[in-house]
Structure 1
């Protein structure tokens, strides 16, 4: 099997091959420890500034020579497909979201964490003809080399640097799959600008969510869909920027992963670089925990630390799902003798959130959602959330981006 030639794909290497060190990219500032993040579902019971404009297409992304599709992304370098991929392996949630946004959700053959399905379903419930075609493709965390041979994918949308941190994966294994099955494309450590694993840092560059989306769109041959959605995103960022109050008038915010029974509380960065904060950073609120540093993507705290921070607003991650009882969380905060002293609890400003592990579709909705939660006077009030609710059907005058236009793009009207 290992000697079987690649049938559908090939790599155009610029500089060194993957096996010889990969294409060198600019290294960026790092800000976090290397390591594997636990699932968002575990956190809940345990994304550079804003994205670049659609008019500034990411360097290294192009509609290449006739009959081929090319994108360049650190740490892999340049990847060229002879035709758009029809069978695509993904692991983390932002790539299936991208595939669906491009009308290619049916190409996704695998992903980890079925919570991705619930999250995207919540946000897109108002789109009549939108289907999450990869809803049944979720599988367990991690994957083996044998599994990738079995799936025989045209493209693996996973960061090979991250893959080498997993059990039973080496650089030789990465090269083998790229040569015998299909190329890799991914950039996990841009999520929170973490330090890549040893041997990869010198060739690592950080990207925004929409720069990643740009590359994926090029490989799928769906530039028009990408540009149409990026235009909506640019307009949304402009609306938010124009409507933000003065910094002195912005609330302090605790961005948390918190269990219903309050037994586990984790604080997350609110305004840090990386695409995991692409729905909070553009809103420029004040982090209730100030400039306190911690390694990794989150830090465990207790109720006393939360009371000491005394946020005006609490954003509770991954709570817009039927598997999480948001009403119980709020009641438990009101009943807790310490928690009830928090300003956000007393003022009824504890709000639900989706996931940091967002693709472009969830990012649009989460920007709108969070803007309304943080700045109701400027952007309109976020309605009371009850378990099992779907995303609110805001009237056209209440929408911060044109929902109907996004639905049209998803249907192929670009």
Structure 2
């Protein structure tokens, strides 16, 4: 636990943070109410800043520009300036920062595989780097770690944080009061039920609605709107090009170990931003409306053959987590796997991650559309380990790659 001196130091030099709407808890309001100096307007100074009879005050008391977001379960938060040191445990927020040209602000992300996934998709973007690629760590975090990082913003859902070991709502309030606010909405990822104590403060958002709020805090509205326009056009193009439902393939959305020792099925068309790149494509889930406890279900090869999907989408296969070429060969060599229609017809495809921000979402929508509907959207090329995202000609792109690259350039 950090000592009192560290907490005091962090409090006295932290920029003013204002809360409105739904708040974390009484500790936040108590902490803010005792920080009148930080909330003072420009006219509340002393000495030469004070108007006199000989020198009338001709300046207005308009406050400095505010960077404000409003997102459940926290509510409204405002910063006096864009954050420069940001904690983002889950990778979709780091993706958002990169999309806004502010990837350098991210000081922590869980799992480096997400960085390599974003590098795969954006390899063709000149001058773009995943600047947080070497700032990754283990799953979970402690208060001590947050005090050490001393961030301006914590892009994590506090409701989710309170479900982790050694975290209670009082701890969440402490960090918001002494360091910086929280902003996040984890349970929109699958439309799961939040902890009971947060339920009355909760609502669900799309990935792009979350992105809009993060963009507001960074003061990057123009970049957000440019990318949102690309996304809207991409969705419209996909929707207009989809074949009739009776002509769509059945798909198994899987996480498969290279050696086939473990295999998990995930829902293809579920609500939430984890499925933001598969649900809009409207393919047939090979496992139908089957429901199970949790986000995925373990299956065996016999169970997969019983469903016998037309297409297999294999998660994590553009990262080092899975050797895609060896996995496909193992499926072909397996006495049961070799009978799968998707294997026999060479329709086993790479995927990135469900933990996508806006950049990965654009690419994964395009990628998956080509994998599922080659006649409508163009063929997806064969993948070999270590490949970068294909350099499609302009006419083959489902969204304007050049516009996205220009939008996210940090030096524009």
- Compute the TM-score of the two structures, normalised by the length of structure 1: 0.87
Per the alignment, residue 312 of structure 2 pairs with: 314
Contact 1:93/1:111, CA 8 A, preserved across alignment: yes
What does residue 357 of structure 2 align with? 359
Which of these residues, 133, 136, 140, is aligned with residue 135 of structure 1?
133
Which residue of 1 is the match for residue 40 of structure 2? none
What whole-Å deviation, never above 9, does each CA across 1:182-208 have from its counterpart, x for those lacking one? 000001111111111231112111110
Cα distance in 1 for residues equivalent to 2:360 and 2:103? 15
> Cα 1:306–1:349, aligned 2, differ >3 Å: closer, same or farther?
same
- Could you tell me which of 270, 273, 281 is aligned with 1:272? 270
TM superposition shift of 1:147: 1.1
Whichever structure has more helix as a proportion of its residues is 2
Say whether the 8 Å CA contact 1:22–1:76 is kept in structure 2. Answer: no
Q: Of residues 103, 121, 128 in structure 1, which corresponds to 2:119? A: 121
Whole-Å separation in 2 of the counterparts to 1:253 and 1:320: 19
**How many residues get paired?**
373
Structure 1 residues 255 and 184, CA, compared in 2 at 3 Å: closer, same or farther? same
- Structure 2: 5+ residue runs without aligned partners? 1-5, 30-61
2:406 aligns to what?
408
Q: Equivalent residue for 1:34?
A: none
The answer to whether residue 33 in structure 2 is matched with residue 2 in structure 1 is: no
Q: 2:336 aligns with which of 333, 338, 353?
A: 338
Cross-structure match for 1:157: 155
Aligned to 1:393: 391
Counterpart CA distance in 1 for 2:313 and 2:68 is 39
Partner of 2:289: 291
Higher relative contact order (CA 8 A, sep 6+): 1
Aligned counterparts of 2:191 and 2:411: Cα–Cα separation in 1: 35
1:18 — aligned with what?
24
- The CA distance in 2 between the partners of 1:12 and 1:203, in whole Å, is 14
Structure 1 residue aligned with 2:171: 173
Give the distance between the partners of 1:336 and 1:21, measured in 2 at CA.
58
Structure 2 counterpart of 1:348 = 346
- Aligned counterpart for 1:73 among listed residues 64, 71, 74: 71
Tell me the TM-score normalized by structure 2: 0.88
Alpha-carbon separation, structure 2, partners of 1:361 and 1:413 = 18
* Unaligned residue ranges in structure 1 (runs of 5+): 24-63
What is the CA RMSD across the aligned residues, in angstroms?
1.7
1:321 deviation in Å? 2.1
Residues 1:380 and 2:378 are matched in the alignment: yes
Aligned partner of residue 193 in structure 2, secondary structure: coil
Asked which structure has the greater CA Rg, the reply is 2
Following the alignment from structure 1 to structure 2, what is the Cα–Cα distance between the partners of residues 111 and 285?
Answer: 32
> Residue 83 of structure 2 contacts residue 105 of structure 2 at CA under 8 Å; is this kept in 1?
yes
Q: CA deviation at 1:220?
A: 0.2
What is the match of residue 58 of structure 2? none
User: 3-state DSSP class of the match of 1:2?
Assistant: helix
**Secondary structure of 1:18's match?**
coil
Whether the 8 Å contact between 1:372 and 1:379 is mirrored in structure 2 is: yes
Give the Cα separation in 2 of the matches to 1:142 and 1:232.
34
User: Which deviates the most, 198-207 or 4-13?
Assistant: 4-13
